[in-house]
Amino acid sequence: MKVILRATKETMQHIAKYRRSLFVMIIFIWITGVLAPFLQVVLPSLFLYLIETQQSFATLMVYAGGISLLVAILDSAHNYLMQTYDPKMYVIKCKLTLRLYEKAMHVPYAQVEDMEYRQLLNRAQTNGIDNSSVGFEHFVRNGMELLIAVTGFFLYAIVFGSMQLWLCALVVTLSLLSIWFMSKAQAYEHVRKQDYAKADQQLQYYHHEVKLPGNGKDIRIFHLQDWLLAKIRYFQKCRVEVLQEVERKYLWAKWGSTFLSAARNLIVFAFFLHELVNGMSVSVFVFYTGAAAAFSGWISKIVNFYNETRRGALGIIDYDTYMDLPIEEEGATLNVPDEDMEIVFDHVSFRYPQAEKDTLTDINFTIHKKEKIGIVGSNGAGKTTLIKLLCGLYTPTSGRILINGIDIKKFAKEDLFTHIAAVFQDSCAMAYSVKKNVACKTKDSIDMDLVWDCLERCELKTKVEQLPLQEDTYISNQISENGVLFSGGEQQKLLMARALYRKANLLILDEPSAALDALAEAALYENYERAAKECTSIFISHRLASTRFANRILLFDQGQLKEMGTHETLLQQDGLYARMFEAQASYYQEGGMKHESTTTRSVDDLALDS
Ligand SMILES: Nc1ncnc2c1ncn2[C@@H]1O[C@H](COP(=O)(O)OP(=O)(O)OP(=O)(O)O)[C@@H](O)[C@H]1O
């Protein structure tokens, strides 16, 4: 009951906020829902009474016509209201979805990468809003029916109780027992929802992988079909197992409930038949047995709608649980000074939540104003993690990151973000027009000259000019018929244009040349050099040749800063950097492939040697 009361409070707040007119509808549906069936019970006994009191046929017809018309009007009004309230409900669901997404896109980034938070978000969306047989919609629809059933129950209890109070009490007691059985099954279902959500999330992931156009080639060439189907089969099996266990609980509850209903009906009919045999008039017998059947009907409806309302309420609580999750207070209010950046990593260590060891350990270095820094290192060395810390997406576990002498913890995150232009490894263009992808602004505030300038600098101008709607062309053919699909390299150029458009104080490129052809890569370096003259910049790359133009290079390995210096000084040091560079360079030299001893070994192997 507490669950229903809590969900009622939340729902009333949502309706009051987004569609007040729904309250009026609910009241009408309530009144018509109670009156129509009551008239149907009264009708047969009224006719019997009129016959017993020897009324004329004409009088009988007037009563019959009047009451039938009234019932028809009430029924139609009730049905009409039940239909027209759907669009209003949909509007509220849309608003709730927007609120959910707004939160999901504002929570600290750490939560985005956290599995538990993602599950909660999934539950909030599926159970709270999307699934019409559990969440908000289900709660309102069944809650209204419950309200009608409870009112009907009290109305009939007055009628029925006036005849025999003990019988009324017995029927109520048996019905309450039924409710108890069903609520036990529902509580079990709610507990198991966590397992549902887990399996659903895994299934969604694999469904997505199967349908992703980019995966089509790999699936066929590497024969991933059986493996993917086996995964889907496995998680479907997990889902079915949970479902079966839940359904078993429901089955027992329903059997218990059916047995109690049969006992209740038997007792009621035995009592009234006894009264009829002992002189009760037929019209009174029909009225009371009708009222008793309807009374039982209301109780069954209460049991049924109570359970369904509770099921809906639990979905609403899933939604609220996510919405109530605290968002870390943005205590910091300082704005980042709009000037060239000097960045200091001061004994910075970082460990991901739930990880067993640090990803970065005691990192110390300074990046001077307008310096171009190249970052290199083996896979998993912690390069991207370092960038996430610098962008304020994560906070160091210990140590400090300073921008112009101020700890970045003191800067308001939103402001910090506006001073950074980053192209991440896994960034991709979104289903918007080319110009919006570059400017990330609304139509009216886009500087089109700058957009074209950035596209030109990234070698995309000619391509965009040839598109059906030029800069207004969508980067996706799923949203717009005239949309186009960009290749991986073209997307990277577009993201580079986006970074240039921002004219930020700090430019970060995390492996931006991976998908580019040789000429595009050379153009990117040229562009980067030009853009980097105006700001402090960091360029992460596995292609060591690309870091030659950096003022300094930082080499990371296993979460530690191992080497630091210019390309030349690092080569002279003859350490890990020199060997990595030599390994890559040998591929471009004549006969390079013959240098088996170095060229066929991975960078990680070389790292182990150091
Ligand atoms: N959200 C996360 N939670 C837990 N561990 C993570 C998370 N993200 C990354 N890691 C781990 O941190 C380590 C460093 O990852 P990171 O992405 O920073 O490496 P990288 O140097 O950029 O690698 P690459 O060159 O392959 O891109 C890896 O072992 C990775 O598994």
CATH number at residue 391: 3.40.50.300
Q: Of the residues 324, 351, 375, which one is the last residue of a structural domain?
A: 324
* pLDDT value of position 387: 92
Is 239 a residue whose pLDDT tops 50?
yes
Q: Are 428 and 437 in contact (CB under 8 A)?
A: no
* pLDDT value of position 605: 43
Same domain assignment for residues 352 and 480: no
List pLDDT tens digits, range 596-606.
333 333 334 43
* Over residues 127-149, mean pLDDT: 87
Is 478 a residue whose pLDDT tops 70?
no
Same domain assignment for residues 140 and 258: yes
Residue 332 lies in a domain: no
Is 329 a residue whose pLDDT tops 80?
no
Q: Which atom of ligand 1 is nearest to the CA of 113?
A: 1
Same domain assignment for residues 490 and 477: no
* Over residues 496-522, mean pLDDT: 80
Give distance in angstroms: CA of 599 to centre of ligand 1: 26
Give distance in angstroms: CA of 205 to centre of ligand 1: 20
Query: Which CATH number is 6's domain given?
Result: 1.20.1560.10
* pLDDT value of position 98: 94
List pLDDT tens digits, range 385-396.
999 999 988 999
Same domain assignment for residues 217 and 264: yes
Which one of 385, 397, 555, 562 would you pick to mutate in the ligand 1 pocket, going by the greatest count of ligand atoms within 8 A of its CB? 385
Give distance in angstroms: CA of 278 to centre of ligand 1: 86
To the nearest whole number, what is the mean pLDDT of the chain?
83
Give distance in angstroms: CA of 381 to centre of ligand 1: 7
**Of the listed ranges 256-260, 527-531, 575-579, the one predicted with least confidence:** 527-531
Residue 201 lies in a domain: yes
Which residue has its alpha carbon closest to ligand 1 atom 24?
A: 379
Q: Which atom of ligand 1 is nearest to the CA of 385?
A: 18
* pLDDT value of position 477: 66
For ligand 1, which residues put their CB under 6 angstroms from it? 113, 352, 355, 359, 377, 379-385, 425
Report residue 556's pLDDT band, with 50, 70 and 90 as the boundaries. very high
* pLDDT value of position 479: 65
Same domain assignment for residues 293 and 163: yes
Most confident of 138-142, 211-215, 539-543: 138-142
* Over residues 410-437, mean pLDDT: 84
Give 481's contacts (C-beta < 8 A, 6+ positions apart).
Answer: none
Q: What is the pTM of this model?
A: 0.70
Give distance in angstroms: CA of 379 to centre of ligand 1: 8
* Over residues 321-340, mean pLDDT: 81
Residue that the structure tokens 């047969």 belong to: 44
Same domain assignment for residues 303 and 348: no
Residue 369 lies in a domain: yes
Same domain assignment for residues 402 and 435: no
The rounded distance, in Å, linking the Cα atoms of 146 and 148 is 5
Residue 335 lies in a domain: no
Q: Which atom of ligand 1 is nearest to the CA of 425?
A: 27
ipTM given for this complex: 0.97
* pLDDT value of position 597: 39
The rounded distance, in Å, linking the Cα atoms of 395 and 391 is 9
Q: Of the residues 279, 297, 324, which one is the last residue of a structural domain?
A: 324
The rounded distance, in Å, linking the Cα atoms of 443 and 428 is 20
* pLDDT value of position 571: 86
Domain hosting 120: range is 2-324
Which residue has its alpha carbon closest to ligand 1 atom 5?
A: 352
Same domain assignment for residues 139 and 272: yes
Starting at the edge strand that comes first in sequence, how are the strands of the sheet with 398-403 ordered?
Answer: 360-367, 343-350, 398-403, 406-407
List pLDDT tens digits, range 64-104.
888 888 878 877 887 887 777 788 888 899 999 999 999 98
Give distance in angstroms: CA of 362 to centre of ligand 1: 17
* pLDDT value of position 596: 39
**Of the listed ranges 70-74, 328-332, 382-386, the one predicted with least confidence:** 328-332
Same domain assignment for residues 146 and 235: yes
Q: Which atom of ligand 1 is nearest to the CA of 511?
A: 27
Give distance in angstroms: CA of 557 to centre of ligand 1: 12
Give distance in angstroms: CA of 331 to centre of ligand 1: 28
Which residue has its alpha carbon closest to ligand 1 atom 29?
A: 380
Residue 329 lies in a domain: no
Give 337's contacts (C-beta < 8 A, 6+ positions apart).
Answer: 404
Residue 490 lies in a domain: yes
Report residue 587's pLDDT band, with 50, 70 and 90 as the boundaries. low
Same domain assignment for residues 225 and 351: no
Q: Are 467 and 459 in contact (CB under 8 A)?
A: no
Give distance in angstroms: CA of 383 to centre of ligand 1: 8
Distances (CA, A) of 473 to 476, 480, 483, 486: 9, 9, 6, 11
Q: Which atom of ligand 1 is nearest to the CA of 388?
A: 18
State how far Cα 438 lies from the chain centre. Answer: 26
Q: Of the residues 485, 509, 524, which one is the last residue of a structural domain?
A: 485
Distances (CA, A) of 418 to 56, 121, 335, 502: 87, 27, 10, 8
Residue 330 lies in a domain: no
Q: Are 103 and 327 in contact (CB under 8 A)?
A: yes
Question: CA angle, 268 as apex, 265 and 274 as ends, to 5°?
Answer: 135
Which one of 354, 359, 375, 580 would you pick to mutate in the ligand 1 pocket, going by the greatest count of ligand atoms within 8 A of its CB? 359
* Over residues 33-55, mean pLDDT: 82
Split into its structural domains, the chain has a count of 3
The rounded distance, in Å, linking the Cα atoms of 538 and 390 is 11
* pLDDT value of position 389: 93
Residue 334 lies in a domain: no
Q: Cβ atoms within 10 A of the Cβ of 430, count?
A: 13
Same domain assignment for residues 348 and 478: no
Same domain assignment for residues 151 and 201: yes
Question: CA angle, 499 as apex, 516 and 467 as ends, to 5°?
Answer: 60
Is 448 a residue whose pLDDT tops 90?
no
Q: Which atom of ligand 1 is nearest to the CA of 559?
A: 14
Q: Which atom of ligand 1 is nearest to the CA of 542?
A: 25
Which residue has its alpha carbon closest to ligand 1 atom 16?
A: 382
Which residue has its alpha carbon closest to ligand 1 atom 28?
A: 380
Give distance in angstroms: CA of 390 to centre of ligand 1: 15
* Over residues 192-216, mean pLDDT: 82
Using DSSP bridges, classify how beta strands 536-540 and 506-510 pair: parallel, antiparallel or unpaired. parallel
